[in-house]
Every structure is written in C-alpha cells, then in structure tokens.
Amino acid sequence: MRARILSLVVLLALASTHGARAQTGACEALRSVVLQNGAITAARVDADRCRVEATLRPSPGSDIKIEVWLPLAGWNGKMLAVGNGAYGGTIPYPALTSGVAQGYATVATDTGHTGAGAAFAVGAPDKLRDFVERAVHQMTVHGKSITAHYYGRAPSKAYFNGCSTGGRQALTAAQRYPSDFDGIVAGSPGNYTSRQAFGQVWVAQAMQKDPASRVPVEKLPLLHKAVLEACEPIDGVPDGVLEDPTKCEFDPAALLCRGADGPDCLTAAQAEAVRRTYQGARHPKTGEPIFPGFERGSERGWARWVGAQPADYGVEFFKHLVFKDPQWDFRTLNFDTDLTLADRASAGIDAVDPDLTPLFSRGAKLLMYAGWNDPGIAPRNAVNYYTSVVQRVGEDKARDAIRLFMVPGMAHCGGGEGTSTFDMLPALDAWVEKGIAPAHIPASRVTKGTVERTRPLCPYPQVATYTGRGSTDDAASFVCR
C-alpha cells in the first residue's frame, strides 16, 4: 500500500511538472505571434498567469505599451479591459491583478506615453490621438487576438471597467468603437475634459484669485457640519451623508461672521467663494453653465482646492493642450473668449455624443457611477451625460441598456464618508449574460478592514430610502425609491 501511495505521489508530481512546463511553453510560444503594426516583446509565466507585453505602433509617432494577463487556470472565458487615471502614462497594475483574480483575461495600456501630466502631447499629435482614443481600441483588438491564441478560442464576451480618465475611455469606446465591448463600466467619467478643466479652474479662481476669498482648510469641517445640520433631515437618516444633495439648498451666508473673522464663521468673501464653488463655472456674459459645481456635503474633500495651487488636471490641460505654455497662470483664464480656444485644442478628447444606438443595438450594456462627494469631477457631469443619452435614444431603449448609480458620500472613484466599496462587474456580467438588469448594487463602508455599514446603491433617479425599521447601518433597512 505504501508503495502504491508513493507511486501515485510521484505520478502526480510528474504530471504537475509536465503541466507547468506545458503552460510555460504555451505562454512563451506567444512571442512568435505576429501583430499588425506591433510586436510582442515578452511572454512568460508569472505566478498564476501568463504575462504578455507588447508594443503597438499604429502610426509613426505611436509607442503604445500594453500588457495582457492570462489566467493559467480558471479562465472564465471572457476578457476585461481596464482603464487609466489622469493623463495615463503608466500601466494600471492593481487593476490587472484584480481582473485576473476574478478569472478574466485582462488587458491594460499606458495610453501611448510614459510619465504624468499632459506635456507629452505638445508637438506630438500621434501621441495625443493615442491617449484620446486609439490606445484603448488597439489594446482591445490585440488583447482579443492574444487571448484567442493562448486559449485556442476567442473570449465569449469583452468588458471594460474604468474610472475618471478610465470613465472617459469607457464612454469614448461606447461612442466611437461600439463593437469593441459587450459591457462597459464608466465610473466618475471625465468625458467632458475641456469643460471639466474650466470647472476646476473656476473653483481655483473662486478660492485663490483673491487672497481674501481663500477658505482656510481648518474651516472646511465647520462648513461641512453646517451643511449636514441643514440638510440631513431631508433624507431622515443621521449618518453624516446626504443621500441626494441636489435637494439641499444650504446657503453659506448662514455662517457669515457678525464681527471680525474667526474660526467659527465665514467672511463675506469666503462665503461668496463657497457659493461660487457650489454654483459651478458660468459664462460671465450670458450666465450659461459651463460645468457643474461641487455638491453640498462634499466640503471635507476641498482641501486641495484651498491651498496654494489648484489640482493639476485642468491646469495641465490649459498649459499644454490649449496655450502650450508651461508657465501659464490659472488666474488668467477667461471664461468667455478662452472657451473657443479650448474647443479648437481639445483634439476630440471630449466624449459627449449621446447617441449610443450603435452600441445598444448590439445588446451591449452600460453601467455608470459617480460619487456625490466627488471633489475632482463634479458629479452632475455624470447625471447630465446619462440624461442626454436617455433623451436621445428614448426611455424604452435606455431602460434596456444603461443604468447610472450615484453614490452618496463617495469621493472621486472611491473613499469619502459613504458606502464606497462595491463591484459593478458582477452586475454587468449578469445583465449581459442573463438579461438581469441591476435593481441595485450592494455597497459597504469599510474602515480598517471592518464593514461598518451596508447600503444599496440605487439606479438614478431613485435613492436608498429608509423603511423605518431596522438598523440604518444595514442595507436590508432600505429600499430604492
């Protein structure tokens, strides 16, 4: 008996060794795969995946790096493309790791350049086009091909998941390459980049152009507390989060100092800066909205806007894409005449076409989400785009193809004071594969590894409403209405 057991162990070990060698061989064999306008530069087994690196050159000035990670075991038969942040320039390895862990053949790109910021685009139209749209499309086409070569069959479905710039990439794919994906997740989308840049500089000017207007970071908790006291009774749940901040009409004048400036009040100039931040960018002559403002309840996330320099995404856009002047000063932006300049220089980076009929006619699905407390990309931008799609394609078609989930208390792509831990992919997959439209998305608030609260995320315009029974920290006590 012992001899038989020993023989079996030896056979299993040999089989395992043979299997590992076979997997390694199959992975390394991908080096010989020929790519149109590109080449595979590395293919090796790395932990539990076959890791493939490639360089794509669809135009003379292109230098797009992509990676394709293929599960050695447990492939679910599908491919997942993951998005980037800010101006790209790096491959998002955490997203690759997460995708493979869920069983997807997962692909990512550096968007065609290296390094942060928008300086790469100066005098480099090919690289700008790669960043705007071509890198993700090329990554997707070649990712599908490499996946098919490795597994011997093409992925049955292809999904995209991205937030911020990744959200813009998601909507760009939906609008311009409708056959690339069967399902798309677009989080906190920066899809109106040219106007978003105006919105960010508007806040910076409101807070910093006049030193008297700057709201000290120490006053942000005071402001936030006043907002909650005024508006939390609207949703009836004292949890430090506004379920629907659009119903809040808090006026910062309520905190005006009655005498000299102090830590428990706002000066008239500071109150006006706060009001302008809520209002959002407006045309100085017509009063027409240019980009939405930040929502009431998001004040704790404003710290980077009240410092010496504003957040750099919008500033980078104007420095390098519009004015091509690395010394450009955000205080000089004109919200009238510079609009035309920005439109001319945007190079197709905006992805605001509401006609998603080509995507929806294929049966593809689109899930969008954004945090109501986002201090980077004003959340009503997502609402505005979603609304434009519904109006363009009609409510019936939209009901079968698109959902928007606004996350109370969530900051940019995560964090904040709300239930910002969730996963849209299972809901997307169930909708695409089984036709089950998501009635809600399970979400939780996690602090130091401990789940403190659960709450359903509701499809816009519904909100999570307390039933009046059970704990307000338990999702079972809420319904979407």
Pairing of strands 78-82, 450-457: unpaired
> Is 338 noted as a catalytic residue in this protein?
no
Q: What are phi and psi of 379, to 5 degrees?
A: -65, -25
How far lies 54's CA from each of 36, 57, 126, 243, in Å?
A: 11, 10, 18, 45
| Helical segments of 335-394, H only | 337-345, 357-360, 380-393
The gap between the terminal CA atoms of the chain, to the nearest Å, is 66
What is the C-alpha to C-alpha distance for residues 303 and 315, in angstroms, rounded to an integer? 17
Tokens matching residue 5? 């057991």
How far lies 319's CA from each of 19, 223, 329, 350, in Å?
A: 54, 32, 8, 17
DSSP state of 131: I
10 Å Cβ neighbour count for 446? 14
> Is 343 noted as a catalytic residue in this protein?
no
Q: Say whether 256 sits in a helix, a strand or coil.
A: strand
Among candidate residues 64, 75, 199, 190, the one with its CA nearest the CA of residue 136: 64
Pairing of strands 289-291, 365-371: unpaired
- Tokens 């006049």 -> residue: 210
Query: Per the residue annotation, which of 374, 420, 429, 477 is the catalytic one?
Result: 374
Q: How many residues does the chain have?
A: 481
Pairing of strands 478-480, 64-71: unpaired
> Is 361 noted as a catalytic residue in this protein?
no
DSSP state of 304: G
Query: Per the residue annotation, which of 110, 126, 130, 164 is the catalytic one?
Result: 164
Query: Cα-atom radius of gyration of the chain, to the nearest Å?
Result: 25
Query: Per the residue annotation, which of 113, 320, 412, 440 is the catalytic one?
Result: 412
User: Which residues face 50 on adjacent strands?
Assistant: 45, 70
Catalytic residues: 164, 374, 412
